[in-house]
Amino acid sequence: MNTFEKKIAVLSGKGGTGKTAFSVNLALILEKQGYVPLLADLDVEEPNVHLFFKESFGTEEPVSLLFPSWNKDACNFCGLCASNCRFHSLAVFKDDFLFFQELCHSCGRCAAKCPHKALSEKPLQIGVLRKGNYGTLSLYEGRLDEGKTQTSSMIREIKKQLPQTGLQIWDGPPGTSCPSLEAVKGADLIVLITEPTPFGFHDFKLTVEALKPFGIQTKVVINKWVENSLEIETYCEKNNLTVLGKIPFSKQAAEAYSSGKTFWEFSDMRESFLDMIEQIMEERE
């Protein structure tokens, strides 16, 4: 059994780039190589890692956040809670109080500032955490309840439930919004998946810029690679980004992905992943 410590966040500038296919296949091939990886689906609005592991999720537990709960009898409508809420989630009138849960970030500031203890904090479910196993691969999936807006908070809560150590792959949400950036916090390595299309390249560049302030080592995988993908490679070279691997454009791969199969059975794909794993593991020293 290979023990290895690394938290790898997998991101892409846009959806449909092959981020989840990469995460799933990386995890499975690591498992076949004798590692004990963990794969966490942090794309909590639309988790789809489970499509590859249909029978493997065994447990489900609620994920809750603390939200303010108002006691009208104790309130004198002073408005201090609303003026201290940075997210404009509260509105206080001379004889009324409104709470907009979809804007609330569960920071607890309003309850702490209320001089009359008219606000307390109550847990409310925002989603579920599902766990499972596939061989020695541990699976975690965050799933935000329909209609809930606390995507970044949900990702934060799921990450709190992950073990502190080990070899972990975090499949983050696509794009450059707050949830994607939340997903990379605490990672040792970001693997950025891109594809050689105009939209793919455009969103890839935006993501590279958005990730710079984090200062986390970032490597690039060019998915659906074809011979003329030079624009991305030149950009990577200019920006000191290592291209970890190129996954060739392949009809077989697309068919495998759409039917929930893994890339292990295709020798060229398997070789690409084994080469990338070797590069990731080389950094152990």
Quickly list DSSP for 190-203.
EEEEE-SSHHHHHH
Q: Based on CB atoms, which residue is closest to ligand SF4, 85 or 126? A: 85
Which of 262, 270, 46, 256 has the alpha carbon at shortest distance from 151?
46
Q: Based on CB atoms, which residue is closest to ligand SF4, 7 or 156? A: 156
Q: Based on CB atoms, which residue is closest to ligand SF4, 23 or 89? A: 89
Q: Based on CB atoms, which residue is closest to ligand SF4, 114 or 158? A: 114
Residue 124 found at the interface with ligand SF4 (CB under 6 A): no
The 80-109 site mask, x for binding ligand SF4 (CB under 6 A), equals: xx---x-x-xx-x-----------xxxxxx
What is the residue whose two structure tokens read 């607890």?
A: 108
Segment contacting ligand SF4 by CB under 6 A, of 41-49, 53-61, 79-87, 142-150:
79-87
Which two structure tokens, joined as six digits, stand for 98?
């409104």
Number of residues that bind ligand SF4 (CB under 6 A): 24
Q: Based on CB atoms, which residue is closest to ligand SF4, 11 or 114? A: 114
Minimum distance from residue 9 beta carbon to ligand SF4 (Å): 26
3-class state of residue 122 by DSSP = strand
The residue from 49, 114, 211, 222 that contacts ligand SF4 (CB under 6 A) is 114
Q: Based on CB atoms, which residue is closest to ligand SF4, 92 or 155? A: 92
What's 201-257 look like in SS3? HHHHHHHHHHHHHHCCCEEEEEEEECCCCHHHHHHHHHCCCEEEEEEECCHHHHHHH
Which of 13, 18, 47, 15 has the alpha carbon at shortest distance from 269?
18
Beta bridge partners of 192: 11, 220
Minimum distance from residue 186 beta carbon to ligand SF4 (Å): 23
Segment contacting ligand SF4 by CB under 6 A, of 113-121, 130-138, 167-175, 197-205:
113-121
Segment contacting ligand SF4 by CB under 6 A, of 15-23, 76-84, 142-150, 247-255:
76-84
Which of 126, 121, 174, 130 has the alpha carbon at shortest distance from 150?
126
Phi first, then psi, for residue 61 (nearest 5°) are -135, 150
> What's the CA gap between 62 and 40, in Å, rounded?
16
Q: Based on CB atoms, which residue is closest to ligand SF4, 23 or 153? A: 153
Applying CB under 6 A, which residues contact ligand SF4? 68, 75-81, 85, 87, 89-90, 92, 104-110, 114, 116, 118-119
